[in-house]
Amino acid sequence: MDAEKTVIAESQVYEALRNCYDPEIPVNVVDLGLIYDVKIIDDWVGVKMTLTTPGCGMSGMISRGVRDAVLRIPGVKDADVRIVWDPAWSPAMMSPEAKKKLGMDR
């Protein structure tokens, strides 16, 4: 008896990640340009991301928040978050909306 599989779309993952924030910056991790890659294999989702600085004291909290958000997506059974430092993050990676919100669009 096969259970019907739920197909997980990359767009669902990005939408879920738009609810995750660096507590020091009022912009979500997607618009900040912190998400580098999303991989979906069956019911597993892997997220490769960075942080604004290597010494970020909130790294554990942010990565747990990202993992928890992914795990709330229907059909996701497991999730993995990898923090990488290459390429290094820069403000140029932010979306135009993020730059505007932070007053960097001038």
Domain residues of the chain, as ranges?
10-100
How do residues 14-68 score in pLDDT, each as one tens digit? 999 999 998 889 999 999 999 999 999 999 999 999 999 988 888 999 999 999 9
Class in CATH terms, 10-100: alpha beta
Tell me the helices (H) and strands (E) count for the chain, helix number first.
Answer: 3, 3
Find the farthest-apart pair of alpha carbons in the chain and give their distance in angstroms, rounded: 59
Residue 57 has a pLDDT of: 85
Parallel, antiparallel, or unpaired for β 44-49 and 78-83? parallel
The pLDDT-based confidence of 2 (bands split at 50, 70, 90) is very low
Residue 1 has a pLDDT of: 42
Parallel, antiparallel, or unpaired for β 35-41 and 44-49? antiparallel
Q: Which amino acid is at 11?
A: S
Residue 9 has a pLDDT of: 96
Distance, in Å, from the CA atom of 74 to the CA atom of 106, rounded to the nearest integer, reads 40
Distance, in Å, from the CA atom of 98 to the CA atom of 96, rounded to the nearest integer, reads 5
